[in-house]
Every structure is written in C-alpha cells, then in structure tokens.
Amino acid sequence: MGRIFEVRKHTMFARWDRMAKQFTRIGKEIAMAVKQGGPDPDNNPALRRCYANAKGVNMPKDRVEAAIKRAMGKDTTNYDEVVYEGYAPHGVAVIVETATDNTTRTVANVRMHFNKGGGSLGNSGSVGFLFNRMGVFKIKNEGQNLEELELELIDFGLEDIGEDTEGNIILRAAFSEFGNMSKALEERGMPVISAELHRIPTTQVELNEEQTKEVLEMIDRLEQDEDVQQVFYNLK
C-alpha cells in the first residue's frame, strides 16, 4: 500500500502545493463571484466563500482586495464556468471544472490531456451520474465534540462529519443545503478554513499500482492546466 499511497498523496496535493496556481484559482472565483453578486461580501455569499478559501491557502489580503477591484473594472476578464466529463484509463470516471475566457482553447487542451493520458473526453452527462455534488467545509478543530456538533448542524443539511489527516473537521452537506450550512457556521462563529463544492463519487474503481500511476499522471496534467479549477474522479 505504501507506494500507491505516496503516489496518490503526491498527485492529490500537488496542485495545492503550487502557490501561484492556488492564487490564480481563487482569483478567478473572486472575479466570478463579484460579477454575479457584487463586491460586498456581506451581501454576497459566494464572495464570502472566496474570502474563506483565500484565507485557507494563505492568500494575502491585499491580493484578495486587488482581485475584487479588477473584477469591478470595465476591462476585466469574463470567465465562464464549463464542466467536462470523460474517462481516464482503466474506466476511471473524471469530471473537470474549468473557468475560462476562451472555451475553444480550453476544450482543446482538456481533450489533449485526456488523449495523452490514454483516456477519452465524453459528452455532458456521460459520467456525472456517478457523482453527488456536495458542499464540503473544513473547519479548525478547537476541541469540539463531533457528536454534539453533528446534532447541532444536522438540521442545516449536514450529511457527514469526520476529520482529515491534519486533524481539521470536515463537514459534508447536500449541494442544495450549501447556503444553509454556510450561514449556520457563520452564525456560530465557526473557524472555517475552506468551503467548497465537491463532486463525491458514489462508486469507486480499484486498480493496481501501475494502473493507478497512469491515472494519476493524467489527473496531474489536467490539474496543472491554467483553465482548470478542480478535478474529481472515482479512483479508490
């Protein structure tokens, strides 16, 4: 298990270890949030989520404010959210979320990454049914009792609670309850590290070490693409 785990861990966290990529991703999220709901975080839940995520990756406050000002400008770049679906090698389902100002470029690049990795880009809906879209919240563990916290938040859409490898508390809520859970955490002053929408696989594919390496190499190439925001897959 050791080598497979290390390869998987390296690939899963490679993107988060690249500071420039993190800030670019958050910057695009800020631009889209401001365009949709304005620059005031008090009246824009999406922008409040961006603030939390920026803090989670140690994005400097001045860079966050600069991103908001750029988004308010007349000449700012407009990003479209486009989702691509397909299969990596060995039948692993993949969903790629992008934010792009040039869909022609993005689809060509995404298709290239799939093809080079031995996978295939599919049509919309081809693998989406294999994932549930959920809100995933990471909050700082300050000694909270998980059972008590679960009872407190279950009426706000909480479906799952646990801890990550760093001891932070992870909360999962249905996509439709994302706003309710965000509000509940804000009202309780919970120390939110990040608040994101993830696609959680309903079934998983188990592969051997060599096959796993092939899949994760393709995922890594996708995650390094400048237009890609997040990649989800059902590799166990």
Over residues 166-192, the mean pLDDT reads 92
Q: Are residues 227 and 142 in the same domain?
A: no
pTM recorded for the entire structure: 0.84
* Residue 96 pLDDT > 90: yes
Domain count across the chain: 3
* Residue 20 pLDDT > 50: yes
Per-residue 3-state assignment (H helix, E strand, C coil) for 110-137:
HHHHHHHCCCEECCCCCCHHHEEEEEEE
* Residue 98 pLDDT > 50: yes
Q: Are residues 11 and 102 in the same domain?
A: no
- Report d(CA 11, CA 71) in Å as an integer: 31
Q: Are residues 63 and 13 in the same domain?
A: yes
Q: Are residues 207 and 109 in the same domain?
A: yes
Of 27, 51, 72, which residue sits at a domain end?
Answer: 72
Confidence of residue 66 (pLDDT cuts 50, 70, 90): very high
Q: Are residues 119 and 209 in the same domain?
A: yes
The residue among 15 and 79 whose pLDDT is bigger is 79
Show the domain range for 57: 2-72
DSSP string across 1-44? -HHHHHHHHHHHHHGGG-HHHHHHHHHHHHHHHHHHH-S-GGG-
Confidence of residue 15 (pLDDT cuts 50, 70, 90): very low
Q: What is the pLDDT of residue 16?
A: 46
Confidence of residue 55 (pLDDT cuts 50, 70, 90): confident
Q: What is the pLDDT of residue 132?
A: 96
What CATH code is carried by the domain that includes residue 157? 3.30.70.980
Q: What is the pLDDT of residue 86?
A: 98
